[in-house]
Amino acid sequence: MISIAETVVKWHGELFYTTWHPNTSQIDFVKSLLATSNLTFWDFSSCQWILDFIRKFLQSQAGITHQQSVLTRLKGDVKLSRDIIKAFLLNLNSELDGLVRREDLTALCLSQAINHLYHFNFAEAHEEVRKIANFPRTQEYLPWDQVLCVGRIMRGEGRFEQAKTCFMTCLGSPGLRKSQRFIVQSTLADTYLDRLGHVRVRIALARLSLTAEDALERWNEVLYWNRFYNPFEEEVFACGVAHLFLCITWYKLGDIDKSTDSFQNAVRVIEGKQHQFLILGLDTYLFHGVCDQIQSKIGWFVTSEISTVNLRTN
């Protein structure tokens, strides 16, 4: 009977490959095979053979769908990547869903979560991860790629410390290959760059302020986020520059006492600090520009050596 089953499968396969088109035909092919396996004249071994073939076929199609989604996303077409996965999953009915391997569905959900990240749809990305949590667990620990995906979502939401925890957890996963470790390490490095980028954006917004009141709020935000991202570190050169901008801002608002306090805070932070090059222009035109403003408007002088900054007042 198995040979007859093989003939039926071969016939269905030839029909499938001559009429194939993306999205639905491959699923229709499998559904027709599943209907064939329910015919009463098949014995158990023949039905089992057909079901095994269906499982392997679905595994292959799920793998192809996943690869297509990744490749189209790498080419910049995130919408097509999302639609490819969506079309495959929508065509799975309850019977076929039980024949698809959990790891294959997991890979598709993770790829779809990344697609949502590209569009900043964090709620939808979390939903894809929650789908995975409902799958039967075959391991006592979460696979590294699931934790990595959650970390990426949190990084996109600005939850950098939680993202860092996820990535550090990934690095401790058992059996992590060298290539996988490299992916996690590079993603962890991106998290630190994102934090720095956030501070850079805050500095840019502060410089674009139209009023002294807005500038005051935004320069204080620069200091806040630096403390938030580096809670156990002393203020760095960038903070000293922020204090200088606060100095000139308070002066414009007519508060000489707070202007003096900000100036002295800048002295405390910058004096003896090495110049930083992580934020372009910070230790060159931004620093020298605000120093010139303070000198011309208030009469306080700032001098800079190669690696040491000394501030003095008249």
Could you state, in order of their start, the residue ranges of all structural domains in the chain? 2-122, 139-208, 214-312
pLDDT reported for residue 269: 82
What are the tens digits of pLDDT across the range 231-254?
666 777 788 889 999 999 999 999
Predicted confidence (pLDDT) at residue 308 exceeds the cutoff of 50: no
What are the tens digits of pLDDT across the range 1-30?
445 444 444 445 444 444 444 444 555 555
Structure tokens at 294: 């303070």
The band of 51, judged by pLDDT with boundaries at 50, 70 and 90, is low
Residue 172: how many other CB atoms lie within 10 Å? 11
Q: End-to-end distance of the chain based on CA atoms, in angstroms?
A: 102
Percent of residues, the chain, with pLDDT higher than 90: 15
Structure tokens at 229: 């991202």
Apex CA 206: angle with CA 203 and CA 209, to 5°?
A: 155
CA dist 46 and 50 (Å) reads 6
pLDDT reported for residue 4: 45
What are the tens digits of pLDDT across the range 262-303?
998 888 888 766 666 556 666 567 787 888 888 888 888 765
What are the tens digits of pLDDT across the range 77-100?
999 999 999 888 887 755 555 567
Measured over the CA atoms of residue 175, residue 181, residue 183 and residue 189, the dihedral's sign is: positive
Residue 9: how many other CB atoms lie within 10 Å? 18
Predicted confidence (pLDDT) at residue 164 exceeds the cutoff of 60: yes
The band of 59, judged by pLDDT with boundaries at 50, 70 and 90, is confident
As a whole number, mean pLDDT of residues 150-173 equals 86
pLDDT reported for residue 147: 87
As a whole number, mean pLDDT of residues 150-172 equals 86
Predicted confidence (pLDDT) at residue 128 exceeds the cutoff of 70: yes
The length of the chain is 314
Tokens 């934790």 -> residue: 147
As a whole number, mean pLDDT of residues 164-189 equals 87
* Contact present, 294 and 300 (Cβ < 8 Å): yes
Which of 247, 289, 286 minimizes the C-alpha distance to 267? Answer: 247
What are the tens digits of pLDDT across the range 182-229?
989 988 888 877 777 788 888 888 888 889 999 999 999 989 888 887
